Homo-oligomer: A and B are copies of this chain.
Amino acid sequence: MSPMQMKTPKGTRDWAGEDITLREHVFDKIRSIFRLHGGAELDTPVFELKSILTDKYGEDAKLIYDLQDQGGELCALRYDLTVPFARWLAMSNVRQIKRYQIGKVYRRDQPAIARGRLREFYQCDFDYAGTFDLMVPDSEVLSVIVEVFEALRINVTIKLNHRCILDGMFAAVGVPQDQLRSISSAVDKLDKSPWEEVKKEMLQKGLAAEVVDKLGSYLLSSDISNASDIESTLSFIKSDEVLMANEDVKKGVQEMELLSQYLSAYDIATYVKFDLSLARGLDYYTGLIYEVIPESFSTVNGAALQVGSIAAGGRYDTLVGMFSRRDIPCVGISFGVDRILTILNARQNRVEDPKPKIDTWIIASDSSSLVEERMAIARELRQAYISVDFNPNASQKPRKQLEAADCVVVAVYLEEDTETAGGIRVKVLTLPEKNLDKATVVDREDLVDEVRKRLV
């Protein structure tokens, strides 16, 4: 008996039983939506060269898991599926693709398991890469988001912002160019922290008090509090001369107007809020950014804390160019499956009809265990794609064997019988009936057909 710690590493977990059944159900739903859009699957290694991950994640880079240097290359566990996708695009000849990937990613964050925040967690990513008409891929990605949550029956709000508008606003109030990402990262905390804290962080980062206050006047404006629809926020921006004097803001506004049109075409405009305080922590976004908040947690200000966003993404037009001479503009979405499962579990919205693990169960009379006959019949049924099992402790009494047959549809009951050819009488019983006297005798060669008939 060893004194070792019996646990999974901090922030990780095993998946088994109903949990993995529900998870696979969610993966299937998401995968089927991705395929309705023509998504092609990609799978990349769990770790990448450390250099691939460097300078992609801003302040979050400290959360990257490194592999130990055991001689050879320096590697790190992937932090998301986006950077590996961009690396793959840069290495391949592909210039346009809708790709999806479902896989685990790794962040040395403070885990909060009850809220579905782990260090090893699944992401389901859909990304649309290629040089295309403005906002056409972006609006399709947003329609993917809506379709996924419609399929999962989770009511959501998609909070949108545009990096050009955000950065233009920062520039317009006087944030120095080299502090854009650092201040953006502070603003991103507004959904979890009160303004006073965010303000303090900005001051600590060296921003002048008057710049912070001007920024606050936009971010906290009552005209757009709690995130308004696209039209209202656009009106607010367009009525502000300081903002509209900035070229980046102007460009972002044009794109948001086009997007608004396309969201109406997709009939998904009602899902969307335009939130000027949405910033997203990651460095690589260049245009539209978005976060998906489950509706029941997003009504009261600050309550989004409970689960946080359950999907997030945006446009990143220069990430592939960090890996290769040729840029490929991309836009994508990443679904956080663990948090989605937390919601489905909390709502007891579990898979209603878990499939029986096994269709058929083979038992035998007390007089003999007939193990080899069970094996022969099991092989035959499985060859007919009928799932089947028997108790490997063959000598148990038949009634006890039958009791173990939970979630089973048909029982096959074997008895020794000198009058039957082959010496074995075969009976079939459809459960939940467990009275063996009610079992029907069938010919050995009709068994597979008889079982199949009872399973339909």
Contact = CB atoms under 8 A, between A and B. Distances in A.
A147 interface: yes
Number of copies: 2
* Interface of A, helix, strand, loop or mixed by DSSP: mixed
A120 interface: yes
Given A68-B69, A73-B9, A265 B51 contact: no
Given A4-B52, A12-B45, A48-B9, A137 B392 contact: yes
Nearest to A324: B6
B108 A70 contact: yes
Contacts of A67: 65-68, 77
A20 interface: yes
A104 interface: yes
A143 B10 CA distance: 38
Contacts of A394: 133, 136
A40 B132 CA distance: 45
A393 B88 CA distance: 24
Interface stretch (A203-211, A383-391, A434-442): A383-391
B45 A9 contact: yes
A120 B1 contact: no
Nearest to A12: B45
Interface string A28-65: 00001101111011111111110110000000000001
Contact of A15 (B32, B42, B371, B392): B42
A17 interface: yes
Interface string A127-143: 01010110011011001
B12 A40 contact: no
Contact of A6 (B43, B139, B323): B323
Given A2-B323, A267-B376, 16 more contacts: A7-B49, A8-B44, A8-B45, A15-B41, A15-B42, A15-B44, A16-B40, A17-B40, A36-B385, A36-B387, A66-B70, A68-B69, A70-B108, A147-B383, A261-B372, A266-B378
